[in-house]
Amino acid sequence: MRSMTDLSSAPRAQQSLSDRTEPARRKPDWIRVKAPVSKAYHETRTLMRELNLNTVCEEAACPNIGECWTKKHATVMILGDVCTRACAFCNVKTGMPRKVDPLEPEHVAVAAARLGLEHIVVTSVDRDDLPDGGAGQFVKVIEAIRRETPNTTIEILTPDFRGKMRPAVEAICAAGPDVYNHNLETVPRLYPTIRPGARYYASLRLLEEVKRHNPLIFTKSGMMLGLGEERLEIHQVMDDMRSAEVDFLTLGQYLQPTPRHAKVEDFVTPQVFDAFGSVARAKGFLQVAASPLTRSSYHAGKDFAEMRAAREALFAKQSRAAGHQHA
């Protein structure tokens, strides 16, 4: 196994997807998770089926589903279960999506209320087929949740809205989510194979655009490690995110969903994740989650509360410093 900290090896040649049909490597002990068996897990599942909602937890075959659904934390995936892109890391189906469900916003809001969520994470498939990329449905979902359960804080994880980013971000920011997440996923060198439909700098611009519209919306972005990226490339992505004033960084281990997906190049140890976490904090992120099982929405509510407290503490410190200067 090559370590994430080994910088001596040359970057590997890029592979086509058809070269990647080898079986998944055995997972190290720190990746193994318990099978989902609890009563609360089944109740969460039943509610999602009743409301005709998709979840990224199931579609992405997330390893944390047993833990999260037992706590009734599910991440809803709006705009259907078929994506117009075909990223090499993602388990969601690709093809021509169905029509947008007009009842979906209300169903998401009802799910948030019935699960008793203090914080909800809503994501979507890419909808390059829609004139607004699906931004309007995000707006309706935010508005429905605010009506149904006004104390629930809202985190959205959006696609890049390729070719329609500015109006999409403007409309969503006007609806006022608490956290706007858009993942950079990997280092720019690996985009052509891992995220071929996206552009690294377009995703960075989206994050900048959110802050330009409303600096008080927390921004969040994440990367998967273990795809063949190098340590200094990860540091560079962190610097790029900080230049875009991203508040919250998530780093987690990439897991190969099927043998047809990009293979795992490294299983990064928990210690190396800790080291990246320390670097990220030193670079000024308000909040960092870095561990093998970290996912964008893992422990999102607890992390949001900590991030909000960190910002309040920072604002208080800045206003004390300003007071001293004027004294």
Q: Which residues bind ligand SF4 (CB under 6 A)?
A: 56-57, 62, 64-65, 68, 73-75, 295, 297-298
Report yes or no: 218 and 247 within 8 Å, Cβ to Cβ: yes
Cβ atoms 45, 65 nearer than 8 A:
no
Which one, 35 or 327, has the nearer CB to ligand SF4?
A: 35
Among residues 39, 117, 30, the alpha carbon closest in space to that of 75 is found at: 117
Side-chain-side CA neighbours of residue 81 (13 Å): 11
Q: Rounded to the nearest whole angstrom, what is the least distance from the CB of residue 251 to ligand SF4 in the complex?
A: 14
Other CB atoms within 10 Å distance of the CB of residue 126: 26
CB of 73 to ligand SF4, least distance (A): 5
By DSSP bridging, strand 218-225 and strand 179-181 are parallel
If the CB atoms of residues 74 and 110 are measured against ligand SF4, the closer one turns out to be 74
Nearer to ligand SF4, 156 or 244 (CB): 156
Token representation of residue 250: 């998530």
The CB-of-145 to ligand SF4 minimum distance in angstroms stands at 16
Closer residue to ligand SF4 (CB): 30 or 245? 30
Residue 157 CB, shortest distance to ligand SF4, in Å, is 9
**Of 62 and 156, CB closest to ligand SF4:** 62
Whole-number minimum distance, CB 20 to ligand SF4, in Å?
A: 23
Question: Could you tell me where the beta strands, DSSP code E, fall in the chain?
Answer: 54-55, 76-78, 82-83, 93-94, 119-124, 153-157, 179-181, 218-225, 248-253, 287-290
